[in-house]
Amino acid sequence: MGKLDNRIAAITGAGSGIGAATARLLAAEGARVVIADIDEATGHKVANELGAAGAFCKTDVRNPKQVEEMVKFAVDRFGRLDVLHNNAFYTTVGAVGEMSIDGWLKTISVTLSGVFYGMRFALPQMVAQGGGVIVNTASISGLFGDYRMGAYNAAKAGVVNLTKTAAIEYARKNIRVNAVCPGMIATPPVVNLLAATRDPNRASKNAAESHAMGRLGQPEEIARVVLFLASDDASFMTGSIVVADGGATAHTGLPGHPL
């Protein structure tokens, strides 16, 4: 018996990183999973790995029509939508007074509006079928600030409060809405971002050391949190913001290192 036997899930940004890891885990726990991603090659690859439990739906989460079609695809293909994991994101880098307007707009469009579109079209379906679960990927960057990451910070902070608002609005309709807030996870975008710095080795070391555990997280570690929130194990949780950050936010930021 799996934790998600006979349930239907859709995951955005499922072609790699946290989304792909979550798709594999949810399928292993009995779910059938819609792999939604803008990248057809990676999306098809993950869907093919899952066999009959997976189906790819090309989705640009910036486009509300495509997100609506993703929900319709899940219902047409599998009959319902029990779990939605809004996971796709984009970020630009730059100080608030210097970042490009286009970068800001794209970050908000993918990382915040994409989550809204997912909920906007999944919630009516879940109400009609009698319930469901939504798990949003927020970030510790939605709880605190980061140098040169203002667009991402703003978008993820929006995800945090959008999660709480949807949770209280739909709690009595048998729909739970929660978010996971990862620290730095070794996903392709993060690895590429560190590699593009002037001193990649130093950047990678600093990133690892910013976590009390002294390392980045792995996508599979966040997938296990998503599974918990999506399953009946979290049946009395809604509006919860679950931090999984290797101890990064447990630290005041004052200098010092454990012996």
My answer on whether 57 and 89 are in the same domain is yes
Same structural domain for residues 210 and 98?
A: no
Q: Is the pLDDT of residue 257 over 80?
A: no
- The candidate with the shortest Cα–Cα distance to 28, out of 9, 44, 42, is 9
Indicate which CATH number applies to the domain containing 123: 3.40.50.720
In angstroms, the CA 163 to CA 133 distance is 12
Angle formed at CA 189 by CA 245 and CA 195, multiple of 5 degrees: 100
Exposure of 254 by Cβ count < 10 A (0-12 exposed, 13-18 middle, 19+ buried)? exposed
The yes-or-no verdict on residue 89 having pLDDT over 70 is yes
Q: Tell whether 2 is covered by a domain.
A: no
End-to-end CA gap in the chain: 44
Given CA atoms 66, 78, 89, 19 in this order, what sign does their dihedral have? negative
Query: How far, CA to CA in Å, does 86 sit from each of 60, 107, 180, 213?
Result: 12, 15, 10, 27
Residue 16's pLDDT is: 98
Active site residue 152: yes
d(CA 195, CA 174): 44
Check pLDDT > 70 for residue 256.
Answer: no
| pLDDT confidence of residue 100 | 98
Domain annotation covers residue 200: yes
Q: Which pLDDT score is estimated for 253?
A: 84
For 50-77, what is the mean pLDDT?
A: 98
- The 10s digit of each residue's pLDDT in 103-159 is 999 999 999 999 999 999 999 999 999 999 999 999 999 999 999 999 999 999 999
- Cβ neighbours of residue 156 under 8 Å, at least 6 residues apart? 111, 112, 138, 139, 141, 142, 181
Catalytic residue among 90, 117, 152, 170: 152
8, 91, 173, 237 from 43: Cα distances, Å: 17, 20, 32, 30
Q: Which domain holds residue 151?
A: 8-182+220-242
Q: What is the mean pLDDT of the chain?
A: 97
Q: How far apart are CA 153 and CA 28, in angstroms?
A: 33
Residues 161 and 193 in one domain: no
Each residue's pLDDT tens digit, 145-198: 999 999 999 999 999 999 999 999 999 999 999 999 999 999 999 999 899 999
Q: SS3 of 1, please?
A: coil
Residue 258 has pLDDT above 70, yes or no: no
The tally of domains found in the chain comes to: 2
